[in-house]
């Protein structure tokens, strides 16, 4: 049995196609999880809404607590890290992360950035030893087969081509998660949100087909590993 960690980061409640001004990324991530569950109903799904209930940003107290050895932490330090610990526990238990992350001003929403800051944890998701010869940092999640699929939405179009240098969504996710040892599964995005009309509709249809293909590929990979 696999565990999926389903993350939504859109500030928009509801899904497009079901609710006026609903979220395209919530629509795509829900489609992904629904298809996965149809194929593997026994798998576990953990859901976290980072858009409507974003994690608290990292503070000075958080940093002090995180870099204090666990055996030396004071009670207030454990409290400062409680939410981060819960988020890390979910990540550790997951085999596949399905993240609905829209593009806001060329990057990820603030709630998702706060999530990243809370799960990049010394001693829990990455190792560090200043005396270590060679590379003092190393991923603690490497070799566990964890993967992430990113489902995004963009107001303009061409962020994989003409505007590639302005796309700071997938790189902002792939880099820190890869640093922890999570492998990239793939990404799908709907574009033309600010244009609407037929162009948005065609892009949504292509994105939904892309989600279907990504689910099929990942399910095939699961079957191959189990064989």
Instruction: Give 195's contacts (C-beta < 8 A, 6+ positions apart).
Output: 157
Q: Please give the Cα distance from 157 to 135 (Å, whole number).
A: 39
Q: At 40, which CATH number?
A: 3.40.50.360
Per-residue pLDDT in tens (0 to 9) along the chain, 227 residues = 899 999 999 999 999 999 999 999 999 999 999 999 999 999 999 999 999 999 999 999 999 999 999 999 999 999 999 999 999 999 999 999 999 999 999 999 999 999 999 999 999 999 998 888 888 999 999 999 999 999 999 999 999 999 999 999 999 999 999 999 999 999 999 999 999 999 999 999 999 999 999 999 999 988 766 66
Q: Please, what is the Cα angle at 215 between 212 and 221, to 5 degrees? A: 140
Residues belonging to the binding site are 10, 103-106
Residue span of the structural domain in which 47 resides: 3-226
Q: At what angle do helices 170-180 and 110-119 cross, to 10 degrees?
A: 10
Strands 126-128 and 137-139: antiparallel
Per residue in 157-166, pLDDT (tens digit) is 999 999 999 9
Strands, E, within 36-182: which ranges?
Answer: 44-49, 96-100, 126-128, 137-139, 147-153
For the record, the structure tokens of 136 come out as 């003092």
Domain total for the chain? 1
- Residue ranges of the annotated binding site for FMN are 10, 103-106
CB of 186 closer than 8 Å to CB of 163: no
Token digits of residue 163: 């505007």
pLDDT digits (tens, 9 = 90+) for 84-133: 999 999 999 999 999 999 999 999 999 999 999 999 999 999 999 888 88
155: exposed, middle or buried (Cβ count in 10 Å: 0-12, 13-18, 19+): middle
Tell me how far apart the alpha carbons of residues 207 and 192 are, in angstroms, rounded to a whole number.
12
Residue corresponding to tokens 């609903």: 22
């Amino acid at each position: 049995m696999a565990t999926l960690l389903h993350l939504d980061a859109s500030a928009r409640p509801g899904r497009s196609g079901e609710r006026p001004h609903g979220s395209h990324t919530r629509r795509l991530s829900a489609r992904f999880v629904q298809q996965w569950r149809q194929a593997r109903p026994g798998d576990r799904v953990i859901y976290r809404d980072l858009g409507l209930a974003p994690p608290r940003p990292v503070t000075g107290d958080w940093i002090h607590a995180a870099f204090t050895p666990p055996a030396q932490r004071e009670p207030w330090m454990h409290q400062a890290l409680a939410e981060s610990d819960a988020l890390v526990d979910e990540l550790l238990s997951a085999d596949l992360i399905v993240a609905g992350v829209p593009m806001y001003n060329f990057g990820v929403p603030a709630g998702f950035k706060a999530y990243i800051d809370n799960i990049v944890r010394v001693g829990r998701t990455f190792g560090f030893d200043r005396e270590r010869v060679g590379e003092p940092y190393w991923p603690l999640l490497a070799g566990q087969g964890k993967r992430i699929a990113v489902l995004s939405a963009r107001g303009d179009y061409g962020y994989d081509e003409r505007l590639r240098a302005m796309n700071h969504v997938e790189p902002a996710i792939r880099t820190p998660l890869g640093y922890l040892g999570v492998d990239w599964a793939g990404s799908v995005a709907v574009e033309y949100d600010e244009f609407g009309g037929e162009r948005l509709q065609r892009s949504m249809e292509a994105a939904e087909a892309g989600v279907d293909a990504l689910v099929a590929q990942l399910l095939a990979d699961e079957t191959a590993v189990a064989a």
